[in-house]
Amino acid sequence: MIVADEVTKIGADYWYRDGGLTKRVAGTVRSVEAVRALIEKPPENQAPNAENPKTAVPDSFWVMLKGGARMKVEEVKEDDDGAWCRRGNFSFLIARERIDRIERDSTLTVKPGWQARGWTTGNPRFDQLIKTNGNRFGVDPYLVFCVIEHESHFDSHAISPKGARGLMQLMPGTAARFGVTNPFDPAQNVVGGTRYLKELLTMFGDRVDLALASYNAGEGAVLKYGSNVPPYRETREYVKRISRRYGIEPKQDRKATSASN
């Protein structure tokens, strides 16, 4: 009998980790059993919270695999060979060459100014991508949702007449700028689009209307009109529709209004 910290099966072989060493089991394995699973339960009537770290709800992670598959695990420890992952009482190694990235799966954080409300794309995977990346880059997930709803109506294969692609309708230059190699991959597209929104919000002091105008017409157009919504009918309608869907009224810009008359 071998007592190990972690056990995984790769092909016909079983591998186990004892401390910092990983070894292959030389003989025949009849069974793998959990010796114990120590779970520290919170006292009765005491809810988990940040002030009681021993009772806090543990984080979980998404291991995003190349090719689009993903796996949710409770713990990840990376080394040169890949990532040792734990799910329940079972631990296993995912080879480095199979991993695209690893993301922390956090519950939806509601920051000041964010619109806390129920929403769904109708696709659980898209919902999770929006929540994860909104929290990751500091953009209200509901704003990301509103942009995707308007841009592509949640069609990951959408292509506009101008060549914008995917859920968040990234133009080729924008996709390349944010490292998106496949704009039709929902995960890559939402990462790139959310990063772009964050950059625009930062550039214009968290002005949602100006970020939306820049997303539609380009930040150069907004700067050209003195950091105001450009007097383009399409852009103004775009800002108005998404702003109202998001729950705010777009500001009126006198300079841009005068320029359009």
Catalytic residues: 151
Output the 3-class SS for the chain: CCCCCEEEEECCEEEEEECCEEEECCCCCCCCCCCCCCCCCCCCCCCCECCEHHHCCCCEEEEEECCCCEEEECEEEEECCEEEEEECCEEEEEEHHHEEEEEEECCCCCCCCCCCCCCCCCCHHHHHHHHHHHHHHCCCHHHHHHHHHHHHCCCCCCECCCCCECCCCECHHHHHHCCCCCCCCHHHHHHHHHHHHHHHHHHCCCCHHHHHHHHHHCHHHHHHCCCCCCCCHHHHHHHHHHHHHHCCCCCCCHHHHHHHC
